[in-house]
Amino acid sequence: MHRSTTRQQYGDGAMTDTPTNEDSPDLDSCVRIGSIVSSNSHLDYVVEVYKERDCDCPPELHEREFGQPVFIKKTVDGTEHAVMGVIYDTQLVDPDQGRTGPRLAQDDQAQFTPGYIEERTTLAGVALLGTAEISEDGEIQEPTHQMPRWTLEVEDTVFNCPDQVTVSFHTVDDQIQLAYMDRLLDIAGDLGSEVIVALINRLQGMLPDDDPNQRVLDVVEQNVQWQAREQRGVV
């Protein structure tokens, strides 16, 4: 109830074909995934995914899947920034189920503690990865994987991050970087290695096959998976 009033007009329609625009993705016209409803910590936000009712063009399933990079726009000191994140978890809420509302999380599962929700909803957990500046012509520049300092707001719109922007965000001095990895592992908890592997696989799919970064990413993926297996007692 508290959130529906200021929903923007999503009717501008052009957004669906923008991610395929290879040259310069227009960050304004990216698919909107949902809006922030709460946070669990400075880097860990809960997003309510848009439904038919909320906008003309709700995200399709594959546009808000596990491991999908996202961004939130923030203007800081007159400069527009993209706060980058990734969907690392999802949860379904059915308020009619036993009238208990969403599962009131125990302390150790504190990811989702949304407030009162009255309709069936899909919630997505978004972990923040870093930030970048948005240039005049709508591209991102100066990506950094350091912890974002700014706090997002409830109702901030979360956008699907197109592939090209994902690659730019992960490229520092021609070298692929995932310097947020330790933080992400921490936030994503049990699914930490899976979300990193999903990100790596996405990046690998975006890079040319003979890109030297492919092998580096292989090594990183191996390490993450091995550590996860060790932690889970497989090896």
Residues at the contact surface with other proteins, assessed by CB under 8 A: 145, 175-182, 213, 215-220, 222-223, 226-227
Residue 232 Cβ vs other proteins, minimum distance, rounded to whole Å: 16
Q: How many CA atoms lie within 13 A of 45 on its CB side?
A: 31
The smaller minimum CB distance to other proteins, of residues 109 and 231, is found at 231
* DSSP assigned state of 149: -
Instruction: Supply the minimum distance, in Å, between the C-beta of residue 221 and other proteins.
Output: 10
DSSP code for 108: G
Q: CB–CB of 40/113 below 8 Å?
A: yes
Instruction: Name which of 49 and 178 has its Cβ closer to other proteins.
Output: 178
Q: How far is the CB of 226 from other proteins (least distance, A)?
A: 6
Q: Judged by CB, which is closer to other proteins: 165, or 176?
A: 176
Q: How far is the CB of 34 from other proteins (least distance, A)?
A: 29
What's the CA gap between 85 and 126, in Å, rounded? 6
Nearer to other proteins, 8 or 222 (CB): 222
Return d(Cα 119, Cα 222) in angstroms, integer: 41
- Give 65 or 221: the residue with its C-beta nearer to other proteins: 221
Cβ pair 13, 56 in contact under 8 A: yes
Query: In whole angstroms, how close is the CB of 228 to other proteins at the nearest point?
Result: 12
| Half-sphere exposure at residue 62, Cβ-oriented, CA atoms within 13 angstroms | 3
Beta strands in the chain (DSSP E): 32-41, 44-49, 69-76, 79-93, 121-134, 140-144, 157-160, 171-172, 175-176
DSSP lists the bridge partners of residue 41 as 44
As measured in angstroms, the least distance from the Cβ of 97 to other proteins is 41
Measured from the CB atom, is 149 or 215 closer to other proteins? 215
